[in-house]
Amino acid sequence: MSVVEIERTEKINLLGLDGKAMEAFFLDLGEKAFRGNQMMKWIHHLGQSDFTEMTNFSKGLRERLAEVAEILPPKVAHKEFSKDGTRKWVLEFPSGGRVETVYIPDKKRGTLCVSSQLGCALDCSFCSTGKQGFQRDLTAAEIVGQVWVAQNSFGPVDNVGDRPVTNVVMMGMGEPLLNFENVVTSMNVMMADFGYGISKRRVTLSTSGVVPAIDRLSDEIDVSLAISLHAPNDALRDQLVPINKKYPLQVLLAACERFLNKFESNRRRITMEYVMLSGVNDSVEHAKELAVLLRNVPSKINLIPFNPFPGSEYRRSSNNAVRRFQTFMQDAGYITTVRSTRGDDIDAACGQLVGKVVDRTKRSERWKNKIQLQNE
């Protein structure tokens, strides 16, 4: 690490503080607690990252802030705004690493897809992030920074005005429940009035099924839950979502029931994500099995067209197969939607953040070459 980087990491990045932590930060400075909300408003409503512009703070306080803190968003390395309103950013973090963040507007909704880790350790067989392996957790500041960039691309918001980002889904890179603290902190900022003011039903955490962390989540925060299910039985799910070997379907679904019971709302459902892989999990037989499997868990089903990536071994199911599957599930009484592939013109649909991936196959090919070279 260079000297410059060491100096920088000593300052606290205020993007990563939720309301309580921001108050504590100002109390530590010998200031009043209400300064916390003022700062949240500067950062998240007004998009301000320069302390010298914060005119409701005294000059002395602004100087002190510049000494101990910073508001350091990720750098926009690349952006593409599509004709249909979809926006995509490639964001680069000051301490290294890149993510893609996608904004998809739809009627009155604007959904932002956010990443929680660089890469992912869970290695689902159809996922390009999984193929990259795990690099590191994102900090809370890096997770919130993605929302900051997206919202700022529309300009400042006032307290009650229309906000462009109405929904956030933790469906970019990474397994959010394996970066628990930072994800919970950043979701707190997303939901805070002085943060992004997003309602708890509109912040969705998607997990491949880290069961103990699902229980912990419901102890700490009330958000919507989506499960990456993808298969109606353990034999198939073991192949697609390897964490299933540790937490098989019955264990996972019991955790889903506990999650729902915790919040005592009979209108509440868990979203079951199901990526449609041609000839693998997309037959009517699979749909039948799924309908039986989920009968005790209030669920809605979201069918996701598979997004192929270089080196992937699967194909996207035909529209017919998707429709047949959807109709069967609907007839069985499940609300079943198909994720739209809007933003395809900029390759932006959520959960499909392919990027410039160095996948494991390529890495192992390089190893093979190296070994060959040594043998020659």
Please check whether residue 260 is in contact with residue 297, taking contact to mean a CB–CB distance below 8 angstroms.
yes
| Nearer CB in complex with ligand SAH: 65/349 | 349
Among residues 185, 208, 271, 317, the one that binds ligand SAH under rule CB under 6 A = 208
174 binds ligand SF4 (CB under 6 A): yes
Please check whether residue 276 is in contact with residue 232, taking contact to mean a CB–CB distance below 8 angstroms.
no
Residue 67 annotated as catalytic: no
Query: Residues, the chain, total?
Result: 376
Crossing angle of helices 140-152 and 180-191, in 10° steps, is: 30
Binding positions for ligand SF4, 224-243, rule CB under 6 A = 228
Catalytic residue of the set 100, 142, 175, 273: 100
Please check whether residue 87 is in contact with residue 79, taking contact to mean a CB–CB distance below 8 angstroms.
yes
Query: Residue 6 and residue 11: Cα distance in Å, rounded?
Result: 9
| Nearer CB in complex with ligand SF4: 120/144 | 120
190 dihedral zone (left: phi>0; alpha: psi -120 to 50; beta): alpha
Catalytic residue of the set 120, 124, 256, 350: 350
Report which DSSP code applies to 169.
E
Q: Looking at the chain, which runs of residues are DSSP E strands?
A: 12-13, 69-70, 75-81, 87-92, 98-106, 109-113, 117-119, 134-137, 167-170, 203-207, 224-228, 270-276, 299-305, 335-338
116 binds ligand SF4 (CB under 6 A): no
Query: Residue 263 and residue 32: Cα distance in Å, rounded?
Result: 35
Among residues 101, 111, 139, 208, the one that binds ligand SF4 under rule CB under 6 A = 208
Which residue of this chain has its Cβ atom nearest to ligand SF4 in the complex? 130
299 binds ligand SAH (CB under 6 A): no
Biggest distance spanned by C-alpha atoms of the chain: 71
305 binds ligand SF4 (CB under 6 A): no
Among residues 65, 99, 127, 211, the one that binds ligand SAH under rule CB under 6 A = 127
Residue 350 annotated as catalytic: yes
126 binds ligand SAH (CB under 6 A): yes
Q: Residues 23-62 vs ligand SAH: string with x where CB under 6 A?
A: ----------------------------------------
Least separation in angstroms between CB 342 and ligand SF4: 21
Least separation in angstroms between CB 21 and ligand SF4: 27
336 binds ligand SAH (CB under 6 A): no
100 binds ligand SAH (CB under 6 A): no
359 binds ligand SF4 (CB under 6 A): no
Please check whether residue 43 is in contact with residue 49, taking contact to mean a CB–CB distance below 8 angstroms.
yes
113 binds ligand SF4 (CB under 6 A): no
175 binds ligand SF4 (CB under 6 A): yes
Q: Are strands 98-106 and 87-92 parallel, antiparallel or unpaired?
A: antiparallel
319 dihedral zone (left: phi>0; alpha: psi -120 to 50; beta): alpha
111 binds, among ligand SAH, ligand SF4, none (CB under 5 to 8 A by kind): none
351 binds ligand SAH (CB under 6 A): yes
Least separation in angstroms between CB 243 and ligand SAH: 9
188 binds ligand SAH (CB under 6 A): no
Among residues 211, 253, 275, 322, the one that binds ligand SAH under rule CB under 6 A = 275
DSSP H stretches of helix in 318-359: 319-331
Phi, psi (rounded to 5 degrees) for 189: -65, -40
Among residues 71, 184, 304, 348, the one that binds ligand SAH under rule CB under 6 A = 304
Among residues 123, 238, 289, 359, the one that binds ligand SF4 under rule CB under 6 A = 123
DSSP string covering 59-127, please? HHHHHHHHHHEE--PPEEEEEEE-TTS-EEEEEE-TTS-EEEEEEEEETTEEEEE---EEE-SS--TT-
Least separation in angstroms between CB 228 and ligand SF4: 6
Residues with active-site annotation: 100, 350
Binding site for ligand SAH (CB under 6 A): 126-128, 171, 175, 206-208, 228, 273, 275, 304, 306-307, 351-352
